[in-house]
Structure 1
């Protein structure tokens, strides 16, 4: 395993999924160490591997990286997926932050006592706040920023697919986004990642939720 990237997280999507997507598009092979018990988590803590006592944690280039945005930025910088100048990079970062805000709302659904109400809120915000931004940005350009593939494109296609899992047809009023999604899913790395048997994770189930609650000693329902 020497020299390979290692991901430390649960056997599910969560905040690690965007990292899996970006590594895949960058052509980086990675291994995964799944957290299944409290003892494993406490071992990472005692080893000093988790700077803020949180996962995701990614071992890469001799470092143990934490904080999702920092990890994504490092991978994007290293593999030329983060723009070519400061103006492009800040635009990419703004798009990524917006996409992550939306995806994090979806990530929290399995832990909600009233998912129906939250689904309605997510759908409204997606259609009124987030998707119009990207629909406008993709009027003409193939990619979001600078005419080249970036981490923002990768996160956006991940997000559109997540939305369609919850709200089939949500892109009907956003033709530029739907065309973008179609182009992105034809990229060889993404096409392979979307096939059965890849390292892409399925939608979270009860086992995933139960494992997280037990490892972190979280009481349900969440406040």
Structure 2
């Protein structure tokens, strides 16, 4: 099975897809779009349905839309719940993490300090208490739904890793369940392997922002 992810040389909207493939134990390679001509070629070949990245080539198909791709690969790894009720809970909580994560996506593109200041003032006080409560309510297993990793956990992990990296682990002290969740997720063999691998890209920096803009504009 050949799986290739096409995206810029950074995390961005592809990171949740990478996490889903990693947690589902689906090997993949990456093709980095660094020049405008690469991007235009993909569009001209009809491989980007909505003219956007990321895109995954999977068994002859060209998959787009990051959340849909994450669900697709999570399904392959049995990460969407054991019954209808769990599937619904996981999907709702996953969508919540997408809203939460959107506060950090412009990091670098709309300023570095500015984006973090906004996230600290609005998104973090709104979402962290909710997810801390949900983790507490689900018991001591360290997951949001059920007793094993789900797509909802991967969505939250992406945001919490960002917070830890950009603002420091101490930022999570008021949210002990979230802090424990992070520890639990990092101890997962497949996720740990991915986080330590070259598949995981660097955080946004000036070079990345400049490169993306040169491709798109």
Q: Which bracket does the TM-score occupy, shorter chain normalised?
A: over 0.9
CA deviation digits over 1:162-202, x for unaligned, max 9? 0112222111001111111111111111222232x431111
Determine if the alignment matches structure 1 residue 74 to structure 2 residue 53. Answer: no
2:130 is aligned to 133
1:121 is aligned to 118
Unaligned residue ranges in structure 2 (runs of 5+): none
Q: Distance in 2 between matches of 1:62 and 1:79?
A: 20
2:186 is aligned to 185
How much does 1:149 deviate? 1.5
How much does 1:112 deviate? 1.0
CA RMSD of aligned residues (A): 1.5
Is the Cα–Cα contact under 8 Å of residues 55 and 66 in structure 1 kept in the other structure? yes
1:31 is aligned to 29
Is the Cα–Cα contact under 8 Å of residues 192 and 198 in structure 1 kept in the other structure? no
How much does 1:141 deviate? 4.5
TM-score normalized with structure 2 length:
0.92
Is the Cα–Cα contact under 8 Å of residues 38 and 215 in structure 1 kept in the other structure? yes
1:152 is aligned to 152
Q: Distance in 2 between matches of 1:4 and 1:64?
A: 12
Q: Distance in 2 between matches of 1:161 and 1:200?
A: 12
1:172 is aligned to 173
Is the Cα–Cα contact under 8 Å of residues 141 and 147 in structure 1 kept in the other structure? no
- Work out the number of aligned pairs and report it: 213
1:97 is aligned to 95
TM-score normalized with structure 1 length:
0.90
Which 4+ runs in 1 deviate beyond 6 A? none
Match of 1:83 among 81, 84, 92: 81
2:53 is aligned to 55
